[in-house]
Structure 1
Amino acid sequence: MKTSILESLKPDIIVEMLEMAVAFENWKKVMETADILYQCVLHIYEDRQYHKAMKLPIPHVQLERPLVYYFGLSHLMGGMSHQHQGAYEQARECIYKYAELGWMEDLKGEEDIQVVEEFRFLAKTNLYAVDILSGNIKLVEEYVAFLQDNLEEILPGLNTILQAALMYHLDVGDILHTFAEQIDEFGSYEDAENVSYYYSYCYHLALYYRNCGRLQDAVGITVRAMQLADQSGNDRNFKKCTALFESLRESATAEQIREYRQMLMQCLDEYETDRHFIVKSVMDNPL
């Protein structure tokens, strides 16, 4: 990317673009934007180092976080994109890059060191996930012990374990029982990231229950996943849940079917309300 273009980009704006791409699960866009972020902050870093070497005033760039954070985030998002596309070796290479960010010069402040440590921790937990998903199921027991020591990682961790269970036909019932108390708390999460993780957990749990023959449980969890997809405004995930429910319809109770239909009617009402509002706005404000 040309230097002139890099100089016009703002890292925090790129971060917002990344968050939007992740929210829509557009992993190709996530990868492209993560690379733009990396190129942008690399230019800022190299420019600073050049001015420092030449004993010139260091150019100021307005950043909401330490520069090292943007390096780590660019690799983290790139790794996430590869992981979701099943490119586990490439994901692992990205993880190695943010596992150790101490190569950067001028990491002196406490905030800088804390950021480096946070990415080092994320690298550890994400490496577990990538290794397990790529087939190293012997690590599951060790990963469970890690989750027990790091309760904040239980939701994404169980999501990983369920995906591995589906891929490699594992029985993870005992693991789910081990974390039953924490699982009961998932529904209280309100921030967008945890709601997204909870949706994914519910969707994969529904698939797991279906494979285990627990069909009514699968239906109930599918309805919950639909609610979360609707809450997040993720139409793609809502469609996936609708298809999953229809595949399980014969096992659904009358109450589950009623709840499912009620949710669809609510979505239809919301669509019609939004359409009416748009039409009215156009009529009230003609070109």
Structure 2
Amino acid sequence: MSKIRFYIENHLKDKGYKLQQFSEIADINVGTLSAIIRGTRLISMNQLDQITSAMGLEQGYFYEMYGVECFIESPPHWRRLEPYIHRCAELDKLDIIQQVIIHVTDDQSYTDELFDVAESLYNKGMNESALIIYECVADSEKYQHSERLALCQYRIFLLHKTLSKFDNFNASVKFEPYIDKLNEEVQLDAIKDLANVYCAIHLWDKVDVWSRELERKAEFQLKFQSRRRKNKKRLTAYPLFTYAAYANLLISCVYEARKEYEKALKYIEKYLKIIEIQNPTQEDQKLIDLFRIWGEGSQYAFGLLLGQENLISPYLDYIENNPLEILSGFITILQSANRYSFNIDYALNRFENQINLFNTNMQIKSGYNDQMLNSMYQEFYYELASYQIKKRNYSIGIDALLICLDLTSSSKDDLMCVKCLDLYGEYRSEANETQMKNYKNVIEKLSLPTF
């Protein structure tokens, strides 16, 4: 006998309900309810939820039993399986989804439908549930070379990103071989996302390679754009010209990392020319304005990094007018100050309130993913610590250094961690008791020996 039917019958006996009474409470036709209890009629998800509520149990109470009875011990029927997955996802019952999907994907006849459900969940932001299905679908197709398998791997790559550099590197390397199997337009977004991850973990040679590949593929798509049917649905997240522009922006970041600022400026100038398109749509214009803002900021930034101290004041005005650029802007200002011994106390004082909101929930994330934002915060606090320590403002500097060191525990950024440890070791005699205690706590979190 079905466990669910057994629970229902016991509930009726315990409460002393007649079938008619319970059917009214559950709002289910008495004949239908009778057939469900006798086992001559399959129970639907809506009916299961109604019965669960009528019994005073929490929603989803019977989902695990239902999954075993309907999809594991019996041949699954898609008409019941699809709403079951959606309801489990809504209630965040991930273990149950995993248990059922692993069994169902043994039969590849449901692969198409399961992929569509994963896409639906992904579009609704139910990422953890979607990831379970993508992984099972990908595993069932691992010996094939289909576009669907590549799209599964793309979604898995997007959903697997964490704050850990090691995890993101592994996810990126695993995803790379599937890019060419994606639709040619979808490849543009995939390469952009891949390059962004490599940028966040500072693998600049990888960023260089994939940025140039993005530029090549974007230019190819642009050449054939005019030949497409006007009513053909665009598959890219953004207009095509933006991918060519963004590729050059990424290449400028590569040269910035290599401290070749004059070359970086040339690629900024190149992408500013790319965005000069005729008859832009409203969407185009919004992106053009954004690229121009980035371009203006980059020109100030690279000028500063080349030692042009006179650019600090106009750069601060630019940042004030574009508050989403405060974090990246101050990283550059601090880097130039540390390199050329500029005094930027007035800049730090001017933006003191905004800087105090860094690394809090009030900090606007803009277009940065969590991993990239974490990396930028580390860079900011390390540069701030270096600046304040050089000015002998040891208390402020060591506080900033400890924030940076703590952030490395989330990202597992070994290089930045070593830099922080070296700087702290050099000035640990200047730390007060509270800072020494905080340092010890961070070190314990990092599982490192104390100095």
TM-score (normalised: structure 1): 0.82
Q: Which residue of 1 aligns with 2:243?
A: 70
**Aligned amino acid, residue 12 of structure 1:** D
Richer in helix (by share): 1
C-alpha distance in 1 between matches for 2:409 and 2:301: 27
SS of 1:239's equivalent in the other structure is helix
C-alpha distance in 1 between matches for 2:411 and 2:364: 10
Q: What does 1:239-278 correspond to in 2, within 5 Å?
A: 239-268=418-447
Q: Is the 8 A contact 2:222 2:241 kept in 1?
A: no
C-alpha distance in 2 between matches for 1:39 and 1:6: 17
- Deviation, 1:17, is 1.0
Matched, 1:114 2:283: no
Which of 315, 340, 356 aligns to 1:143? It is 315
- Deviation, 1:6, is 10
C-alpha distance in 2 between matches for 1:228 and 1:24: 14
Q: Which residue of 1 aligns with 2:205?
A: 28
C-alpha distance in 1 between matches for 2:261 and 2:316: 20
- Deviation, 1:194, is 3.6
Q: Which residue of 1 aligns with 2:258?
A: 85
**Aligned amino acid, residue 259 of structure 2:** G
Which of 305, 330, 341 aligns to 1:158? It is 330
C-alpha distance in 1 between matches for 2:435 and 2:251: 39
Matched, 1:178 2:350: yes
CA RMSD of aligned residues (A): 2.4
Q: Which residue of 1 aligns with 2:297?
A: 125
Q: Which residue of 2 aligns with 1:195?
A: 374
Q: Is the 8 A contact 2:330 2:380 kept in 1?
A: yes
Distance 1:63 1:263, change over 3 A: same
Q: Which residue of 2 aligns with 1:209?
A: 388
Q: Is the 8 A contact 2:188 2:214 kept in 1?
A: yes
203-212 vs 250-259, greater mean Cα deviation? 250-259
Which of 274, 291, 298 aligns to 1:101? It is 274
Q: Which residue of 2 aligns with 1:47?
A: 224
Q: Is the 8 A contact 1:100 1:120 kept in 2?
A: no
Structure 2: gaps of 5 or more residues: 1-179
TM-score (normalised: structure 2): 0.54
C-alpha distance in 2 between matches for 1:146 and 1:95: 17
C-alpha distance in 2 between matches for 1:77 and 1:58: 31
- Deviation, 1:170, is 0.9
Q: Is the 8 A contact 1:30 1:77 kept in 2?
A: yes
- Deviation, 1:206, is 0.5
Q: Is the 8 A contact 2:195 2:210 kept in 1?
A: yes
257-266 vs 30-39, greater mean Cα deviation? 257-266
- Deviation, 1:253, is 2.1
SS of 2:224's equivalent in the other structure is helix
Structure 1: gaps of 5 or more residues: 270-287
C-alpha distance in 1 between matches for 2:266 and 2:207: 16
Task: Show CA shifts across 1:219-255 (max 9, x none).
Answer: 2111011112223332322222122211221212232
- Deviation, 1:201, is 1.3
Q: Is the 8 A contact 2:409 2:445 kept in 1?
A: no
**Aligned amino acid, residue 72 of structure 1:** A
Name the % identity.
Answer: 23
- Deviation, 1:161, is 1.1
- Deviation, 1:62, is 2.4
252-261 vs 201-210, greater mean Cα deviation? 252-261
SS of 2:202's equivalent in the other structure is coil
Distance 1:27 1:223, change over 3 A: same
- Deviation, 1:128, is 0.4
SS of 1:187's equivalent in the other structure is coil
- Deviation, 1:78, is 0.8
Q: Which residue of 1 aligns with 2:407?
A: 228
**Aligned amino acid, residue 181 of structure 1:** N
Pairs aligned (count): 260
